[in-house]
Structure 1
Amino acid sequence: MRKIIFAALAGVLMGAGAAAGQPTISGPLTGNLGPGVFIVVGDCQVPAGQALTIQPGTELLFSGHYFLKVDGHLSAVGTAADSIILRRQFPTNECRHGGIHLNPGSSDSSQLAYVHIDHANNVDFPDCFGGGLLCWDAGVSVSHCTFSHCRAQYGGGAYFIGAQASVTDCAFRENEAVARGGCIYTIQSSLYLARSTFLYNVADLVPGVEIYDNPDCIMEYCEVAHNTATSVAG
């Protein structure tokens, strides 16, 4: 028993020591970021009229419930061999982050590719829409991305409102919506969903993809399976 406890403590200390030497980021971000590991110690913003490019091989470790809020243009394009990761620094609820928010007035052509967003958590009003990604009156292309263990009131993985967006070749797994849309909730958006998987997600209502009041939404060649609704529409 003592050996097990010692091994666990050693692992925590090694992780803390490894993180201690990493650069920290918060506040306005522009230009190029990465590659490398960065500890997020406060909310980050891409100001209006500015652009941020996150390089392949960049990992953002969130030390608390902080956001990447975009009022300008975001390009986070990794590769199959060198993805971009947003996750919590330590496996605690305190480190569950707020994900990416593409705010009204931001670019209509932001890009996310080969990005993995893990353990984001947005359940308290007003930040209760979209666990990993919120796209509000903005445009974004999301491809080859993974959303896992993310949580929100609406849209556990992602939430689109008034958006022009495409989601292709993505994976949504083990996300949760306290209310509706375990994977995605979309309202009044032009949304194209294709070749994506939605597996093992949970919501009170509609644990898969909820499409509400969307006159221009196409969903094709997707796999939606093993999702659980605690009320109806599994």
Structure 2
Amino acid sequence: MKKAMRFLMMMAIALTSATVTTSCSDDDETVTLSKFTIDPTATTLTPGETLNVNVQFFPENVEDKTVEWTSSDNEVATVANGVVTAIKPGSATITATPAAMPSLAKTLSVSVTAKAMTVSGEVSGTWDAYTTVTVNGQLKVPAGKSLTIEEGVEVIFNSADANGTGIEFTVDGNIYCKGTADAPILFSVPTNERKFSNVTDCKNLWGGFMLNSSDAQAEALFENCIIEYAGSAMTENSPSVISGIYTAGEDYGVQITTGPNFQGSLVVTGCVIRNGFADGIYMQGGQAIITNNTFSGNGATGGEAVNVKAGTSTVVAYNVMYSPNTNGLKLSSSGQDDAAGRGQAKCVAYNNTIINAGWRRDGTKGGCIYVEKNILVNVFNNLMVNCKYRAQVPKWGTPGISDGCDDKSVIDYNCYAASAITSTLQQDIDDETTVPYLNYVSNKNYADAIDAHSVIAKGANDLGVAFANYALDTNRLDNAVYDEAWDFTAKSLPEGATDGASLTGIVKTSLTVGGKTYAADAPQKFFGARK
């Protein structure tokens, strides 16, 4: 009996041990991931939009559910913890890789398309990044309101409103155009209308910006923008005609205008301002910093890159101005003491590069820089290449609102270079003004006190000026079409520039706009915008 009991107890212990061993073996067994899926596998988003990607593991009780997320192009779409964020238009592939079995990785195809909206009338608020905005009527930012335009936005103007009048963008409040170097803001016409023949024919153009707030706190910022194909003819229905700024049948839209009532601050920096029927920038009021921009092809029958009038305080520095119809800089206090009470204009212009100015304008008014009518200016360290004339100062020595500029002005320490290229235009053949360096010798609007220390070419290529990627003899002097491959960084320059330390004090060289202070770079002791 005792032996039987002992046997049964040993059997029970053995069975118990076997059961425990089997249980431990089941707990330690590794569950292998056999299948991994994501949903969706393709999507279309707009910039700023997000998407949560769902994942599934098979079997569901797999222990390691770690997923590595990557994007093929983080500039188009990013991903973090399964959340995809669209950045800008384009395509990207999102890859989800399970750590438990990387060979089961899955992909999501993301297409990011621009947002789209159509506007007219009063506007304010924010236009989100990478939105395409179609304008089919006159626009206005009302007084007391602000409009912010973010990077990558494209603003496309139909050529006319319902009345057949060119569409203007009037700003009575504040405007902040905040592009980036990689994603500039575009203000233009439809793609099929972007041709220079439409500029010369004044056809299918929009009306440009009109800034005319009388509020001294008004602000306008154009940072990293492309502004092009403005210049529609003014009609009786044009907002700028109705407000009394322009005249129907005589004037044309300017890319950017500050009206005579404008009392605020304007900053234009890092922009391309091109292919307009009239001026690039026309200052009739307010204070401005205009720096590090490229102007090209501005003016059809007249027009300057930058045109300054009474009631303004302006810094113009480190800009490239290619083929302005008349001048790179037209500086005047015309309009001083008018009904708006505008005071003397003041301008400091230094370290600008002006190429081929004045050839598309018949007569002697164009050339490169034109200074008149009581304005106080300091103009120095500018590089003029193959321009029709040197700086002109009509009625120098008799300052007055209808006469010459302020005789305390300094227009000196500039460089006037010329190559062997000559004009083939009949107007220049008739006037015997075909050779740039010969035109630098004499002109009725030159003065002995002007350019006394400037470096002036006396023959073709005698100053040795050379650019990184622009051959001085490549293009006709009246060519207005700009090649984006050109590089006007100076590789060779003569000596003779000034440090300019005492010449900038007549104007403000920094302005605060949108809570940020923009300061013009100090003058550098070389000629031109880039070295």
TM-score normalised by the chain length of structure 2: 0.37
The answer to whether 1:209 aligns with 2:318 is no
5 Å-filtered alignment, 1:1-234, equals 22-35=116-129, 36-64=131-159, 65-92=166-193, 93=198, 94-105=203-214, 107-124=217-234, 125-126=246-247, 128=251, 131-136=254-259, 137=262, 138-152=264-278, 156-176=279-299, 178-179=301-302, 181-188=303-310, 189-203=312-326, 207-213=327-333, 215-227=345-357, 228=359, 229-232=361-364, 233-234=366-367
Partners of 1:108 and 1:164 within 8 A in 2: no
Instruction: Classify 1:177/1:166 alpha carbon distance in 2 versus 1 (closer, same or farther; 3 Å).
Output: farther
Q: Please list the CA deviations of residues 80-121 of structure 1 after superposition, one character each: whole Å capped at 9, or x if unmatched.
A: 011100000143455311111111325532211001101111
Higher mean C-alpha displacement, 163-172 vs 89-98: 89-98
Let me know the Cα RMSD of the aligned residues. 2.0
> How far apart, CA to CA, are the structure 2 residues paired with 1:158 and 1:126?
18
Structure 2: 5+ residue runs without aligned partners? 1-114, 160-165, 235-245, 334-343, 368-531
Instruction: Classify 1:220/1:47 alpha carbon distance in 2 versus 1 (closer, same or farther; 3 Å).
Output: same
Letter aligned with residue 317 of structure 2: A
State percent identity of aligned pairs. 24
Letter aligned with residue 98 of structure 1: G
> How far apart, CA to CA, are the structure 1 residues paired with 2:233 and 2:289?
25
Partners of 1:86 and 1:99 within 8 A in 2: no
> How far apart, CA to CA, are the structure 2 residues paired with 1:165 and 1:24?
31
Larger Rg: 2
Q: Which structure has more strand as a fraction of its residues?
A: 1
Instruction: Classify 1:225/1:48 alpha carbon distance in 2 versus 1 (closer, same or farther; 3 Å).
Output: same
Partners of 2:230 and 2:253 within 8 A in 1: no
> How far apart, CA to CA, are the structure 2 residues paired with 1:129 and 1:211?
19
| 2:144 match: secondary structure | coil
Q: CA deviation at 1:196?
A: 0.3
Instruction: Classify 1:39/1:215 alpha carbon distance in 2 versus 1 (closer, same or farther; 3 Å).
Output: closer
Letter aligned with residue 109 of structure 1: E
Q: Please list the CA deviations of residues 39-69 of structure 1 after superposition, one character each: whole Å capped at 9, or x if unmatched.
A: 1101111000000000111000111221111
> How far apart, CA to CA, are the structure 1 residues paired with 2:136 and 2:345?
40
Instruction: Classify 1:218/1:123 alpha carbon distance in 2 versus 1 (closer, same or farther; 3 Å).
Output: farther
> How far apart, CA to CA, are the structure 1 residues paired with 2:143 and 2:266?
16
- Higher RCO structure, 1 or 2 (CA under 8 Å, sep 6+): 1
> How far apart, CA to CA, are the structure 2 residues paired with 1:116 and 1:146?
5
> How far apart, CA to CA, are the structure 2 residues paired with 1:209 and 1:134?
15
Instruction: Classify 1:90/1:80 alpha carbon distance in 2 versus 1 (closer, same or farther; 3 Å).
Output: closer
Higher mean C-alpha displacement, 169-178 vs 77-86: 169-178
> How far apart, CA to CA, are the structure 2 residues paired with 1:122 and 1:77?
25
Higher mean C-alpha displacement, 89-98 vs 134-143: 89-98
Partners of 1:86 and 1:117 within 8 A in 2: yes
Q: How many residues align?
A: 207
Higher mean C-alpha displacement, 218-227 vs 170-179: 170-179
> How far apart, CA to CA, are the structure 2 residues paired with 1:218 and 1:202?
22
Q: Please list the CA deviations of residues 167-224 of structure 1 after superposition, one character each: whole Å capped at 9, or x if unmatched.
A: 0001110110534x42121101100001001111213xxx321000254210011001
| 1:231 match: secondary structure | coil
Structure 1: 5+ residue runs without aligned partners? 1-20
